[in-house]
Amino acid sequence: MDAMQNRNAELKKCPFCGNAIVEYGAYIPAGSNVQYFMCYCVLCGAHGPQSIKKNSKEDAARLWNRRGGH
Ligand SMILES: [Zn+2]
């Protein structure tokens, strides 16, 4: 198991606390067999919107970056 923190360079740092370590989390709706992703801050727990497309980390990243950046 890799102990290194997995920094996703394509994700902007957290807009709330400034932490640069942002991870992807999977979200599986109840009764569903598809999953969606969202990005979340490992430090303060803030998370972005869940992806609109199924199984799309890119979509989650796009939404996170849009929310976090100006
Ligand atoms: Zn944060």
Cβ–Cβ < 8 Å for 17, 46: yes
In the chain, how many domains are there? 1
Compute, in angstroms, the gap from residue 15 CA to the centroid of ligand 1: 7
> Is the confidence at residue 70, as pLDDT, over 60?
no
Ligand 1 geometric centre to CA of 47 (Å): 8
For residue 43, report the distance from its CA to the centre of ligand 1, in Å. 5
Ligand 1 center to 62 CA (angstroms): 17
> Tens digits of per-residue pLDDT, 3-55?
455 578 899 999 999 999 999 999 999 999 999 999 999 999 999 999 999 99
Single-letter residue type at 58: E
Q: Global pTM?
A: 0.81
**Ligand 1: centre distance to CA 11 (Å):** 12
Domain that holds residue 59: 1-70
Which three-class secondary structure state does DSSP give residue 67? Answer: helix
Show the beta-strand stretches assigned E in 1-65. 22-27, 36-41
Q: Which residue has the tokens 């490992």?
A: 42
